Amino acid sequence: MLNKSYTEENLSAAKQFLEDNSYVQLQEAFSDESFLQSIRDLDFTENKDIMHHCFMEAEFVVPAELKDMLAKFDVSVTSGKVFKLRWKDYSMISDADSALIGHEVIIDATPLWDENAGGAIVYIDAEGESIPIEATPNSVTIIAAKNMHRFFQYVNHYGDGRDRVFVILR
């Protein structure tokens, strides 16, 4: 499932990068497209609360191989949720949202995306500094969240007819 080019040495360097920065992204993360396709094929249901969010979602069981890989970053995840964003989907930060602390892992299963369509996963801290995670098909991004909030950037009409699909693990 995982791309074999990510050797122990490469992962160790990536771990060091994560320690020095707020996030690290592993591109071409999976050698097997069928894994990403299986994510896209999950049974999604709409979750809509107009003042807060609108998207499709599905449950996700974290594969053991992925857990093992993340352990090399000293990252432990216990739960995962898959999100599918279509044109006009979004999420907003509300006063009731708790700040994120610890690691979040994003598996990007988006098949094809227009870079003008929005749909970035944006992490923002109390000072307004933001980390936008743009659509990068077949990637794994690890974010070290320190008192951050997250929102899904509104998907505009350039995303019409496409699906922005990703898993968020915590």
Partner 1 sequence: MKHVNQQDLRELAKSFSEAKPFKHVEITELFDSQFLQKVTNELDRLNFTYKESDLFKFYQSQSLAEGDLPKAIGELRELLYSKEFVKLMSQITGLELTGKADLHATIYEDTNFLLVHDDKLDSRKIAFLIYLTDMEIDEGGALNLFENSDGKPTEVVREVIPKFNKFAMFEVSNISFHEVSEVIVDKQRIAIGGWYHAK
Q: Interface with partner 1 includes 25 (CB under 8 A)?
A: no
In the complex, the smallest distance separating the C-beta of residue 155 from partner 1, rounded to whole angstroms, is: 10
In the complex, the smallest distance separating the C-beta of residue 71 from partner 1, rounded to whole angstroms, is: 33
The one-letter amino acid code at 127 reads: E
Applying CB under 8 A, the span of 21-29, 75-83, 104-112, 150-158 interacting with partner 1 comes to 150-158
In the window 42-101, what residues touch partner 1 (CB under 8 A)?
50-51, 88, 90-93
Backbone φ and ψ for 36, nearest 5 degrees, come out as -65, -40
Are 25 and 106 in contact by the 8 Å Cβ rule? The answer is no
In the complex, the smallest distance separating the C-beta of residue 40 from partner 1, rounded to whole angstroms, is: 25
The set of residues, in sequence order, having a beta carbon less than 8 Å from that of 166 and lying 6+ positions away, is 82, 83, 106, 107, 108, 109, 110, 121
CA distance 49 to 56: 12
Query: Where on the chain is the footprint of partner 1 (CB under 8 A)?
Result: 50-51, 88, 90-93, 116, 118, 122, 151, 153-154, 156-158
